[in-house]
Amino acid sequence: MQKRIFGIETEFGIIFSPEGRKTLPVEKAIRFLFEKLITTEHFLNVFLENGARFYQDTGCHPEYATPECISPRQLIVYDKAGERILEELQGYAEEKIEEERIPGKISIFKNNTDFVGNSYGCHENYLVDRDVDFYYLAEQLIPFLVTRQIYAGAGKVSQAQDGVHYCVSQRAQHIYQKISGTTTNDRSIINTRDEPHADREKYRRLHVIVGDSNMSEYTNFLKVATCTVVLQMIEDNFINKDFTLRNPVKAIKDISFDTTCKRKIRLDNGKEYSPIEIQREYCEMAMKYINEYPVSDELKDGVEKWQHVLECLDTDPDKLDRKIDWVIKRKLLQTIADKRGVSFDDPSIFMADLQYHDVKQDRGLFYLMERKGMVDRLLTDEEIDIAKTLAPPDTRAKMRGAFIKLAREHNIQYDLDWSNIRLGNLLNVRVICNNPFETDTEKVAELVRTIQKTNLRKANLSKLVIQS
């Protein structure tokens, strides 16, 4: 597919830290987060004016799902906008907590694990053609996804039986299957859930649940752009080498524990490659592919960045200490450890690891580094701010966002999901939009007129009551 829809669902960790004896259950803290968004919709499941969805997921995690996006770069803009929206809601929630006279603060983290070993995900979604054999696509993609963590991992200080290790990925240790239908217990690399939120006869959704949540814009873009190119190569039958792994679940864990990224893993054919070597093979094929097939300038840029990152990982990973999350964080933690004269098993290092992911810009260590110009950026604050309230102009999200804004302005009862809009006191006026590439329809225009007529009737009725 030359034209594709992208989405990211991010589950956030949340902690309330009391400053006295009185505490606050996390469930109530989350309700305060949602309170500012109260509409006629379900209380803990809200669609926003930028077309995104914000809801409470399993395990008391606030989750932000981006609107439908048309490119990897647009996707990371809306992913970052989700952080900023959550930060604003956090400020409102803390004000409500203060009114309750419960001293303390809420902390929200864009990471993937907590201190007791629970994991929560960052799920990538790619629209794919229904005609492509799903299991063939998945098998071809798995070796790439298993080894992608060497530049897409968020990094983590991990406590193991043999001591403390710094790992490349947070999510890798919580993967137990190649392909499955669950996202919570037997987590897999690729999820089989077939919810395209589009024409089911034409499309399906590729649901990748193996990735880490990224703070770095550079890392996040590279993660999605490289996967997009590989996915496109698979669809065009361009990949002519077999990288099927003997044991992908074991491999993904082994790779995570190796910060050299050079430990060999065994393929199904008996050959052994390092993660860098496997990624180089994919990257070299991608370089040939973009010269022979129509590919956007954005994806070409992604392939160039991919090549650069692999070269640095092979020669000196520290060259990526402004770009790649796990390298940025490792250098930061080492600096803190050296300054305090402690090792990585010190509690302060575990805490700094967590604080790297704090979404509050005046507290999070990543954002402290960003303010000091210590990390590379791809986006501007202005475009992130715009994405907080304005939906992508080139997908179905544009209609959803415009409708939500209008309905709220006129206090119209409504309900919606990704493909449906319903309004009226009985929610009996409905518009179905199964084409995620569609940005405007006569049906939605008619829906807008219905809102306006309803509002006019209310106004006339009010006048009649006053006159009588």
Active site residues: 57
Helix axes 217-235, 275-292, angle to 10 degrees: 70
| CA separation for the pair 411, 232 (Å, rounded) | 44
Q: Which DSSP symbol is given to 383?
A: H
| CA separation for the pair 333, 366 (Å, rounded) | 11
CA distances from 138 to 144, 145, 255, 266, 302 (A): 10, 10, 20, 19, 22
Q: Which DSSP symbol is given to 211?
A: P
Retrieve residue 79's tokens: 């992913």
Cβ count within 10 A of residue 131:
9
Q: Would you give the end-to-end CA distance of the chain in angstroms?
A: 63
Residue whose pair of structure tokens reads 């496109």 in the numeric block: 232
Helix (H) or strand (E) holding 222: helix 217-235
Q: In the chain, what is the greatest distance between 2 CA atoms, to the nearest angstrom?
A: 88
Cβ count within 10 A of residue 61:
20
| CA separation for the pair 361, 291 (Å, rounded) | 41
Residues in the chain: 468
**3-state DSSP of 86-103:** HHHHHHHHHHHHHHCCCC
Instruction: Say how far residue 359 (Cα) sits from the centre of its chain.
Output: 14
Cβ count within 10 A of residue 394:
16
- DSSP-H helix ranges across 356-416: 365-371, 381-387, 397-409
Q: What is the CA radius of gyration of the chain?
A: 23
| CA separation for the pair 91, 83 (Å, rounded) | 13
| CA separation for the pair 343, 319 (Å, rounded) | 23
| CA separation for the pair 93, 299 (Å, rounded) | 39
